Structure 1
Amino acid sequence: MRAYNGKVFKQKEHHERLIKSGELIDVSVPYSIEELTKATSDVLRESDLTDAYIRPIVWRGDENLGVKSYLNSVNVAIFAWKWGTYFGDDKIKSGINLSATKFVRPDPRKGYEDVLMLDWRGFVAECTSCNIFFIKNNEIHTPISDCFLNGITRQTIMELAKKMGYKVIERHILSQEIANFDEAFVTGTAVEVMPINSIFDTIVMK
């Protein structure tokens, strides 16, 4: 999560997702949304932070070393720290560069900040920590979130774009189409909104 001027962006939705994610792997978060919200506020106040990145983590204890993990306690911690632009302030104007590989973060020394991943069918999916959007003729195209995380920031951007009068199209996108788009950008709670300069060495920032 991120806090801006003391307010946490979509805090309720993030806590709901945390609890639901725990349920999917049989880890019941032992706190309610209200308790997590209060704890987050306490962390920000005690850390004297108003603009910050916030990361709650949940893990099981080590009381039992067998495979029956449900016998172990469930622990929660919330961290907060100052964190500027995810890829660096200079990338806000220049845009990031994406490579293509299988579920491995790229080496920034080779000129790539992140990776665009395809799904098992060969359609464009997402990057390692963010969702992706493309623009063509003032229409916004984004992959259907049927096999990747439907990010909270992604949902917010789509909602805002529609309110502003943009046509938002969710569809399957082939990598061969990338060269035909006018612009592209990624979204995520940590990444926020970041323009893309190139994908697979194809310039998309025009």
Structure 2
Amino acid sequence: MEKADKIWVNKEVVPWDDAKVHLVSNTLHYGFGVFEGIRCYKTEDGPAVFRLREHLARLANSAEILGFQVPYSVDELVAATRQIIKANAFEQCYIRPLAYIGEGGMGLAYEECPVNVAIAVWYWGEYVGRGTIENGSRARVSTYSRHHINTNMSKAKACGNYMLFQMARTEARRDGYDEALLLDANGHVAEGSVEHIFLVREGSLVTPPLTHLLAGITRETVIVLARDMGLEVREELFSRDYVLTSDEAFFVGTGAEVTPLVELDRRRIGDGKRGPITKRVQDAYFDTVYGRSKSRPEWLTYV
């Protein structure tokens, strides 16, 4: 990542190196906080943030699920996001809003601690790996299982939930892969470390249901765009075998955008290259986020 000049913290724009969290801040120790990942794209009409309000509404909902409130409205956070992008003069960037419990008590009960909000921005290219948008990614089935539906609040994008995903991705990278694919407690394919997965089978898209997965905004975007193109999209439980016998596969997420998956556990998926339907979905997605397609103007918030 390339750091920016400034970060928004509790209504103040401060220099990047001055945005500090105290050692005894509650979230630092227990992971009790919520965050979002959002992208701003360079369009012909200037920088535009993709589905900003939906992301910030999910941030607020994540906090409600955990039992606290983000102390700023969605409208205030929209304005703050635009402010910090302008302050850094970015035409394109990644955006990380974070609501976290600050200093004031180290017990698990955090009533006396303030809720802080920060918004950082930086440049972030291809998340899964350089060249994977075109050439595809390689993944392994993780030795870690995706959280069971009753072990955490799976509809919250909570900081502590991501320790599992960080371990899974670190394991995969150390073994020479780009990404991990996690199975659920029953052995069904769940998701990548920070991505949803889609398969292409006989011209249709297949993706796991959201029973215990985070409601992905990019996932929903891809479903809408695919159906607009006349593609059938089905939500189904499936095993790792089903991935291996698919015609194509791809990951989606704010970071991953639409990244082909061409190999799983050293087994080729399809012909081992980005497939034609994956390419169609990619083109529709990038035309939308870069403002080249005018079919969904409500998804772009111009800076």
The reply to whether TM is greater than 0.5 is yes
Q: 1:67 aligns with which of 101, 108, 123?
A: 108
Q: Secondary structure at the match of 2:222?
A: helix
Q: 2:209 aligns with which of 138, 144, 154?
A: 144
- Counterpart of 1:110, as a letter, is D
Shift of residue 65, structure 1, vs aligned partner: 2.6
After superposition, give the CA deviation of every residue in 1:131-190 in whole Å (9 maximum; x if it has no partner).
Answer: 000001111111111111121000000010001000001111111212220000000011
- Counterpart of 2:187, as a letter, is G
| Separation in structure 2 between the aligned mates of residue 125 and residue 108 of structure 1, nearest angstrom | 19
- Counterpart of 2:129, as a letter, is G
- Counterpart of 2:54, as a letter, is E
Q: 2:82 aligns with which of 38, 41, 46?
A: 41
Answer whether contact 2:139 2:172 (CA < 8 A) is retained.
no
State the aligned residue count. Answer: 206
Answer whether contact 2:250 2:261 (CA < 8 A) is retained.
yes
| Separation in structure 2 between the aligned mates of residue 56 and residue 174 of structure 1, nearest angstrom | 34
Shift of residue 87, structure 1, vs aligned partner: 2.3
Shift of residue 110, structure 1, vs aligned partner: 2.8
Q: Does 1:12 align with 2:30?
A: no
Q: Secondary structure at the match of 2:40?
A: strand
Q: 1:93 aligns with which of 131, 134, 139?
A: 134
Q: Secondary structure at the match of 2:111?
A: helix
| Separation in structure 2 between the aligned mates of residue 119 and residue 88 of structure 1, nearest angstrom | 25
* Structure 1 gap ranges (5+): none
User: Which residue does the alignment assign to 1:3?
Assistant: 40
User: Which residue does the alignment assign to 2:95?
Assistant: 54
User: Which residue does the alignment assign to 1:121?
Assistant: 186
Q: In terms of mean alpha carbon deviation, does 117-126 or 58-67 score higher?
A: 58-67
| Separation in structure 1 between the aligned mates of residue 97 and residue 270 of structure 2, nearest angstrom | 35
Answer whether contact 1:98 1:199 (CA < 8 A) is retained.
yes
Shift of residue 67, structure 1, vs aligned partner: 3.0
* Structure 2 gap ranges (5+): 1-37, 145-163, 272-303
Aligned CA distance change for structure 1 residues 135 and 72 (closer, same or farther; 3 Å): same
Q: Does 1:184 align with 2:221?
A: no
| Separation in structure 1 between the aligned mates of residue 260 and residue 266 of structure 2, nearest angstrom | 15
After superposition, give the CA deviation of every residue in 1:61-81 in whole Å (9 maximum; x if it has no partner).
Answer: 111233320221100000001
| Separation in structure 2 between the aligned mates of residue 132 and residue 176 of structure 1, nearest angstrom | 14
Q: Secondary structure at the match of 2:227?
A: helix
After superposition, give the CA deviation of every residue in 1:34-70 in whole Å (9 maximum; x if it has no partner).
Answer: 0000000000000000210000111111112333202
Shift of residue 109, structure 1, vs aligned partner: 4.7
Scaled by the length of structure 1, what TM-score is found?
0.96
Q: Secondary structure at the match of 1:35?
A: helix
| Separation in structure 2 between the aligned mates of residue 72 and residue 145 of structure 1, nearest angstrom | 33
Shift of residue 107, structure 1, vs aligned partner: 4.2
- Counterpart of 2:245, as a letter, is N
| Separation in structure 1 between the aligned mates of residue 243 and residue 195 of structure 2, nearest angstrom | 17
Supply the RMSD in Å over aligned alpha carbons. 1.2
| Separation in structure 1 between the aligned mates of residue 108 and residue 191 of structure 2, nearest angstrom | 33
Scaled by the length of structure 2, what TM-score is found?
0.66
Identity of aligned residues (%): 35
| Separation in structure 1 between the aligned mates of residue 80 and residue 121 of structure 2, nearest angstrom | 11
User: Which residue does the alignment assign to 1:160?
Assistant: 225
User: Which residue does the alignment assign to 1:76?
Assistant: 117
